[in-house]
Amino acid sequence: MKTIPRKHVEDLDLHALRVLDVLFRERSLTRAAEALHTQQPALSKTLARLRRYFGDPLFVRVALHMEPTAKALELIEPVRAVLDGLQRLRNEQTRFDPARSTRVFRVFTLDAGVIVMLPAIMKKLLETAPGVRLRAAQVDLQSLNASLESGNIDLGIGEFPLLIPGIRRQKLFSGRHMCIFQKDHPRLSRNPSLAAFLDEQHIFITAAGTGHPHQIAERTLEDQLPAKNIIAHVPTFTAAAILAKNTNAVATMPGPVASVLARELDMQLAKPPIKLPEFEIAQYWHERFDRDPGNQWLRSIVHSQFGGGKSPARG
């Protein structure tokens, strides 16, 4: 490994390599500190030590980002090779016992996943792994690749078509959008006609956390609905359902979410008379953790609960 000076090998520790690896991805001291769950001053000290060790600034500020120097670019592959090798050694020696583990898994999923999937997964965990905990972690979608690669997120669940090579994917199920409204709605039945559907008032769920397929579905609806009939935009599926329950409006959302909320809120579930795109839900993880026993176990739990291919929605 020609890029690492031999005379200082004894001074190079694993923590410093991890800091360097995260900085390669984040290009920001603030984001790197968040990813490593540490304070920025401590990270700055480690970066200063790395700069002295390699005799190079490693990162220089360009506009709002830190860009790697030529020396730093030479280090990316050797550093990741060392960290990946250590991860493989750890995986080979680590036996994961779900009944005794107290591991906290960080799972990234959108609003729909929290509503539909987490209850069943948590119930299974409480039965088979009472000490294991799940944390529904929130990251910017643009940071999901880096979070999976660093291990800051153990598993992503949803539909993320823009994930890069190195991210593994396993399909869970596919489904379609459904709509919900009051059970005693004065005009709509279980099978509303297109004219009746378009003539009603509608609530849109528009936020980054609703996912790409839902955004496409809403654009399709928006193209056909009179603008005056879109009476509200809310950030979550739950908020849309509650608002629809207390008005005569219609909320259209992914079928599994609509099914759960219709059941819990005693509302009418119906197929929209407009063809909307099908979505496909999968679980995602980085290849660096493909053989991690705990990650493998969590993936098996998710797949056992939702891996049948068909949507878990129930009318």
pLDDT recorded at residue 314: 46
Highest mean pLDDT among 15-19, 29-33, 197-201, 207-211: 197-201
Read off the DSSP letter of residue 164: P
Q: Give the whole-angstrom CA distance, residue 193 versus residue 199.
A: 10
Beta carbons of 239 and 200 less than 8 angstroms apart:
no
Mean pLDDT of the chain: 86
Gap between the Cα atoms of 105 and 295, Å rounded: 8
Which of 2-11, 84-93, 186-195 shows the lowest mean pLDDT across its residues?
2-11
Distance CA 315, CA 313 (A): 7
Q: Residues 116-139: what's their mean pLDDT? A: 91
Give the chain's domains with CATH numbers.
Answer: 6-93 (1.10.10.10), 104-174+281-310 (3.40.190.10), 177-270 (3.40.190.10)
- Percent of the chain at pLDDT > 70 equals 90
pTM of the model: 0.69
Confidence (pLDDT) at 245: 95
Comparing C-alpha atoms, which of 253, 234, 212 is closest to residue 116? 253
Closest CA to 256 of 172, 308, 212, 315: 315
CA distance 135 to 41: 27
108 band by pLDDT with thresholds 50, 70 and 90: very high
The tally of CA atoms less than 13 A away on the side-chain side of residue 241 is 26
pLDDT tens by residue, 170-209: 999 988 999 999 999 999 988 999 999 999 999 999 866 5
Separation of alpha carbons 237 and 57, rounded Å: 47
Give pLDDT, residue 91.
59
Burial class of 110 by CB neighbour count within 10 A (0 to 12, 13 to 18, 19+):
buried
Residue of 89, 78, 91, 17 lying closest to 290 (CA atoms): 91
Is pLDDT at 261 greater than 90 in this prediction? yes
